[in-house]
């Protein structure tokens, strides 16, 4: 079982014929992902990677029935690409692009509220259902199929967590890299809730970082609604206040923004917190054996 994407998902690539779109679409196809076509304005009617190219998302959806889109377009055009996909009725939009202006994302997020579309990202590695469908830039070989869900702000730590889970003799149902920008589509709590409602996910790894309140929000929701074990890790434990660490959203601005504060809240809400990503796999395995 999985959440959001599976073998039946029909994937559309926005920015299909560009360098990044071409490279990662090739990797996705090799993984077995059902890529049905792509969009590059003014190149409609051609073929790329043996898939049709369309001028607009609306045309692509009409012709292919695509229900998932992945975006590889420059930052200046990414918010428009998100809104175009939503306007065409795409159910899941995954935006890989980083460096999108905050004001653009504010506009895009407001626009999404009036649609049926869910956004993952931006500035994220995407989403993968192990052994079925990869919609993103993650190294597919790292993800062994299993029953542990992963939600993470960090791309690199998503891969590390999956590797640790595999080394502990377990595997991954679905892994979601939600992104580390100040304005993102799907929050940690929303992803955690989806995993809690997935009958085939038996445990969850939740990876956060300094800055913002998403981890605290997720933890408090879990305290009231959690029914499966969650192992948590917060990156940036040595980060000084006021210093941004990597992601645009990773900056300590309030009392609950520090790693220590987030870890404390998570523990108080029933989440098992580890201080090192190297402990993620063995910890979730130990909990599930009890």
Query: Residue 124's pLDDT is what?
Result: 96
Query: Residue 234's pLDDT is what?
Result: 95
Q: What is the rounded distance in angstroms from the CA atom of residue 252 to the CA atom of residue 270?
A: 24
Active-site hit among 236, 247, 266, 273:
247
How does pLDDT run across 237-258, given as a tens digit for each residue?
A: 655 555 544 555 444 455 567 8
Query: Residue 65's pLDDT is what?
Result: 98
Q: Return the CA Rg of the chain.
A: 18
Length reported for the chain? 290
Beta-carbon-side half-sphere exposure of residue 63 (alpha carbons within 13 Å): 17
Active site residue 247: yes
What average pLDDT does this structure show over 136-140?
Answer: 97
Residue percentage of the chain with pLDDT more than 90: 86
CB atoms within 10 A of CB 17: 17
What average pLDDT does this structure show over 222-235?
Answer: 96
How does pLDDT run across 53-91, given as a tens digit for each residue?
A: 999 999 999 999 999 999 999 999 999 999 999 999 999
Q: Any bridge partners for residue 119, and if so which? A: 93
Q: Where are the domains of the chain?
A: 11-120, 138-289
Indicate the CATH number for domain 138-289: 3.40.50.261
Query: Residue 250's pLDDT is what?
Result: 47
Indicate the CATH number for domain 11-120: 3.40.50.720
Q: Given this chain, do its domains 11-120 and 138-289 carry the same CATH topology?
A: yes
Given pLDDT bands bounded at 50, 70 and 90, which one contains residue 193? Answer: very high
How does pLDDT run across 157-188, given as a tens digit for each residue?
A: 999 999 999 999 999 999 999 998 999 999 99
Query: Residue 258's pLDDT is what?
Result: 82
pLDDT mean across residues, the chain: 93
What average pLDDT does this structure show over 22-37?
Answer: 98
Q: pTM to 2 decimals?
A: 0.93
């Amino acid at each position: 079982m999985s959440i959001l994407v599976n073998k039946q998902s029909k994937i559309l690539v926005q920015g299909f014929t560009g360098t990044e779109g071409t490279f990662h679409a090739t990797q996705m196809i090799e993984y077995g992902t059902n890529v049905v076509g792509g969009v590059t304005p003014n190149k409609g009617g051609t073929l790329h990677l043996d898939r049709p190219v369309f001028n607009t998302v609306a045309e692509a959806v009409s012709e292919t029935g695509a229900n998932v889109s992945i975006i590889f377009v420059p930052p200046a055009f990414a918010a428009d690409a998100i809104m175009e996909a939503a306007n065409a009725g795409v159910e899941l939009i995954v935006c890989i692009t980083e460096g999108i202006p905050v004001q653009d994302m504010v506009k895009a997020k407001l626009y999404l509220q009036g649609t049926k579309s869910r956004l993952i990202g931006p500035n994220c590695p995407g989403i993968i259902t192990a052994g079925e469908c990869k919609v993103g830039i993650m190294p597919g070989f790292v993800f062994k199929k299993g029953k542990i869900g992963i939600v993470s702000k960090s791309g690199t730590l998503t891969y590390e967590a999956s590797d640790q889970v595999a080394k502990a003799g377990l595997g991954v149902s679905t892994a979601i890299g939600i992104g580390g920008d100040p304005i993102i589509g799907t929050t940690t709590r929303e992803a955690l809730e989806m995993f809690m409602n997935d009958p085939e996910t038996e445990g969850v790894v939740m990876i956060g970082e300094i800055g913002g309140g998403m981890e605290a929000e997720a933890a408090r929701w879990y305290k009231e609604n959690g029914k499966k074990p969650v192992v948590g890790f917060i990156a940036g434990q040595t980060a000084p206040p006021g210093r941004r660490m990597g992601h645009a959203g990773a900056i300590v601005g309030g009392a609950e923004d520090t790693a220590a504060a987030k870890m404390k809240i998570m523990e108080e809400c029933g989440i098992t917190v580890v201080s090192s990503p190297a402990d993620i796999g063995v910890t979730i395995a130990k909990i599930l054996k009890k």
